[in-house]
């Protein structure tokens, strides 16, 4: 339509598999026949799409972090330091145990929120916000800890973990920042 244009492709820290540009709307005339619902309901329609989107972003964080953990486990089996394989040091085993436990908690909360959304439960929006906030914070943190397990190699692109860390960082920002997720949960709690 006349008035719709796009900004330049943005250079980003990560997420380079998906191009990001501004969508610019200047004096765009949209006919009534294109309306998605009754007048005044646009915000509600847009918000309704976000609950599922938040689960999607949480699931992307979970998958990325699981992949980083799997890569770290494989690396720790072969790398030796001070005469032992890395996966034989109890301090590192405990770190792995925490990472796996936190990912399992994120996975379970995502399932719970997805179930609430599917069944149109009244607390679905709050659960989706909780799951997005938790899975994206934990996902980033687990990926960062996995990178640490590689030592200096973790910082090199060859091993693929630094890319996961850069990609997961944005999940704490988009589809509603994690501060806004807390706002949604807090409003629901205080409202009660
Ligand atoms: C790679 C990428 C892709 C994107 N894709 C899309 C897309 O496809 N569609 C789309 O619509 N948008 C997209 N976005 C935009 C994204 O959704 C927003 O950047 C995000 O929602 C945050 O909004 P903002 O940048 O305006 O931050 P601001 O609203 O300016 O917030 C700045 C900071 O203040 C905090 N803050 C703001 N208000 C409060 C408050 N009330 N209480 C506490 N803290 C607060 C925020 O959490 C944040 O930390 C994309 C962004 C990126 C980086």
Please state the pTM of the whole predicted model.
0.94
CB 15 within 8 A of CB 43: no
Segments of the chain scoring below 70 in pLDDT: 192
Residue minimizing CA distance to atom 48 of ligand 1: 177
- If we measure between CA atoms, which residue out of 122, 167, 110, 121 comes closest to residue 144? 167
DSSP H/E element including 81: strand 80-81
Q: What is the pLDDT of residue 47?
A: 85
How far is Cα 108 from Cα 116, in angstroms, rounded to an integer? 12
Nearest to 131, CA basis, from 162, 170, 98, 171: 171
Q: Is 184 touching ligand 1 by the criterion CB < 6 Å?
A: no
SS (H, E, C) 130-192: HHHHHHHHHHHHHHHHHHHHCHHHHHCHHHCHHHHHHHHHHHHCCCCCHHHHHHHHHHHHHHC
Contact 140, 172 (CB under 8 A): yes
Has 175 been annotated as catalytic?
Answer: yes
- Rounded-to-integer distance, Cα 77 and Cα 146, Å: 14
Distance (Å) from CA 55 to ligand 1 centroid: 17
Ligand 1 atom with the smallest distance to the CA of 175 is 17
Crossing angle for the helix pair 161-169 and 42-78, to the nearest 10 degrees: 160
Measured distance CA(143)–CA(169) in Å, rounded: 10
Cα(183) to centroid(ligand 1), Å: 14
Per-residue pLDDT of 23-65, as tens digits, reads 999 999 999 999 999 999 999 888 888 999 999 999 999 999 9
From the CB of 179, is ligand 1 less than 6 Å away? yes
In this structure, are residues 161 and 150 in contact, taking their beta carbons and an 8 Å threshold?
Answer: yes
14 ligand 1 Cβ < 6 A = no
Assigned token pair, 25? 């709307």
pLDDT score recorded for residue 192: 61
CB 170 within 8 A of CB 15: yes
């Amino acid at each position: 339509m006349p008035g719709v244009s796009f900004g330049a492709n943005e250079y980003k820290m990560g997420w380079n598999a998906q191009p990001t540009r501004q969508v610019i709307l200047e004096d765009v005339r949209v006919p009534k026949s294109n309306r998605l619902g009754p007048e005044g309901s646009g915000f509600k329609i847009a918000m309704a799409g976000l609950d599922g989107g938040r689960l999607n972003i949480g699931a992307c964080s979970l998958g990325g972090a699981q992949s980083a953990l799997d890569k770290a486990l494989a690396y720790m089996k072969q790398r030796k330091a001070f005469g032992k394989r890395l996966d034989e040091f109890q301090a590192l085993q405990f770190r792995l145990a925490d990472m796996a436990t936190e990912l399992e908690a994120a996975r379970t909360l995502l399932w719970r929120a997805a179930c609430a959304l599917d069944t149109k439960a009244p607390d679905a929006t709050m659960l989706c916000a909780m799951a997005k906030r938790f899975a994206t914070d934990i996902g980033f943190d687990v990926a960062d800890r996995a990178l640490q397990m590689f030592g200096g190699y973790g910082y090199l692109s060859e091993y693929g973990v630094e890319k996961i860390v850069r990609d997961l960082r944005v999940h704490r920002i988009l589809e509603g920042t994690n501060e806004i997720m807390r706002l949604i949960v807090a409003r629901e709690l205080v409202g009660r």
